[in-house]
Amino acid sequence: MATVATSFGIEEALQQLGIEEVNQGTSTGSNWFSNGEEIASHSPVDGALIGKVTTTSKEDYEKVMESATAAFKEWRILPAPQRGEVVRQFGEELRRLKEPLGKLVSYEMGKSYQEGLGEVQEMIDICDFAVGLSRQLHGFTMHSERPGHRMYEQYHPLGVVGIISAFNFPVAVWAWNTALAWICGDVCVWKPSEKAPLCGVACQKIAAKVFANNDLPEGISCLINGDYKVGEYMTTDTRIPLISATGSTRMGKIVAKTVGERLGKSLLELGGNNAIIVTPDADIKMTVIGAVFGAVGTCGQRCTSTRRLIIHESIYDKVKNAVVDAYKQLRIGNPLDENNHVGPLIDTDAVAMYNKALEQVVEEGGNIIVEGGVLSGEGYESGCYVKPAIAEAEPHYKIVQHETFAPVLYLLKYSGDVENALEIQNGVKQGLSSAIMTNNLREAERFLSHAGSDCGIANVNIGTSGAEIGGAFGGEKETGGGRESGSDAWKVYMRRQTNTINYTTELPLAQGIKFDL
């Protein structure tokens, strides 16, 4: 295996996960095949070639869909608690392989090793959640207006669920979807990001082993690989009633239009332009911790990353100075080295986008107070390492209105009360995550009220970044409106049915209509 990060145990991790120099990128479970071209996965950590994956051709895709649609007929009739038992075993395999999979996530994507382990832990957590949920797929009963009738609602499996995931969370988002879809009785076809295909191969191998050990058919867990053209196989396919897509707003609009034209369903997790409001009653130390981690964690490549810090004018300089001082302590380097705080961007295209954002904020009149730039020299050979930057800006700047998927934090000043801060926060097209730092109960409750934050996630005295499995994850406006993970998010993976049972010898008609025979 061509890698230079041997001192961090990458080679051993790849061997444990069954990753080879050239990997088949199409799978229905234990069966692997591909007739497409090869795509190479280079690590942004050191630029080394990790491995190659063969992409999915149209013929390969048809084999996958044949297997998936056949498997659905068998999987859906298995009682939900039994499906939950299979998901439990999958979670146990993830526990066993947490360290090597976490290392692969870190090395292929570039996030810190601790974040890589945390992502695998999210997979384990959603499996635990799904196991419990497998005994709680409740419908409910209501009273009928007709005597001798019973009415109730129940949920049935949808069928084949198509999952398109992004590079920044190369394994967790798939697990959020697939663990719930599986216990609901669905089968899944997954297209991971072409920027992190080996993570997809590793996860599919783990899942395939579990399904084979339970003598379950091929097709319950399927993998396809390639660029957007392979994704289009799914979005245009009427055999797939639900597409769950994570990525940019631009991509989401294309998916929504394509799936909507065939009257399919979309679950969209798209861009975020997340803000923390800092009021005069904020705890400055907590604010700095939340803002810095939110802005530089995963090198600013989380959909929940903090992009905007909206600070009251009375404490603006104090907060600014504290955040700037904290940035001086950041260590940038190999994310497998746990002494470092910030790893690389995913590739040089992302670096170019980062540079363009810094140029644009200056052109619009902003003031860069923590200089950015691309790092070079020993340890930075991949060309993907950049310095987290901070700029003073105005809310109306085009670049501030835009989501920059990189570690660039914009400081914005507000005056007056929290209403003015909320107007700035809500004044962007995205609506994923938001937070307020305050010890004022009235401000906190105002932030959480109907007229407060317009985001799908609203936090008090914690940052914007991250989420817990127990709550539904997603956002509003151009974030797409989808919900994954906890709460009652399982309902999107099922079809809802209303049932009426007449247990009398008569057939009364609605609205008193008479039809005598």
Gap between the Cα atoms of 268 and 248, Å rounded: 10
Gap between the Cα atoms of 13 and 45, Å rounded: 16
State the first-to-last Cα distance of the chain, in angstroms, to the nearest integer: 79
Gap between the Cα atoms of 105 and 45, Å rounded: 11
Gap between the Cα atoms of 76 and 450, Å rounded: 39
Triad 433, 168, 489: Cα angle to 5°: 50
Gap between the Cα atoms of 279 and 269, Å rounded: 29
R_g of the chain, CA atoms, integer Å: 25
Active site (annotated) includes residue 74: no
Active site (annotated) includes residue 303: yes
User: Coil, strand or helix: which one is 454?
Assistant: coil
Gap between the Cα atoms of 162 and 483, Å rounded: 15
C-alpha dihedral over 23, 25, 31, 36, to 10 degrees?
-110
The helix (H) or strand (E) run that includes residue 32 is strand 32-33
Active-site hit among 218, 269, 403, 484:
269
Q: Any alpha helices (H) in 364-484, and if so which ranges?
A: 398-401, 418-425, 441-448
Residue 390 main-chain phi, psi, to 5 deg: -130, 135
Gap between the Cα atoms of 248 and 479, Å rounded: 9
Closest by CA to 393, choosing from 307, 322, 278, 463, is: 307
Residue 111 · residue 335 · CB < 8 Å: yes
State both tokens at 414. 């507000």
Bridge partners for 433 per DSSP: 457
For the chain, the helix, strand and coil percentages under 3-state DSSP, each to the nearest 5: 40, 20, 40
The residues, any chain, with a CB within 8 Å of residue 317's CB and separated by 6 or more, are none
Gap between the Cα atoms of 364 and 410, Å rounded: 13
Active-site hit among 303, 403, 455, 478:
303
HSE (side-chain half, CA atoms, 13 Å) at 207: 31
Gap between the Cα atoms of 221 and 89, Å rounded: 14
The catalytic residue positions are 269, 303
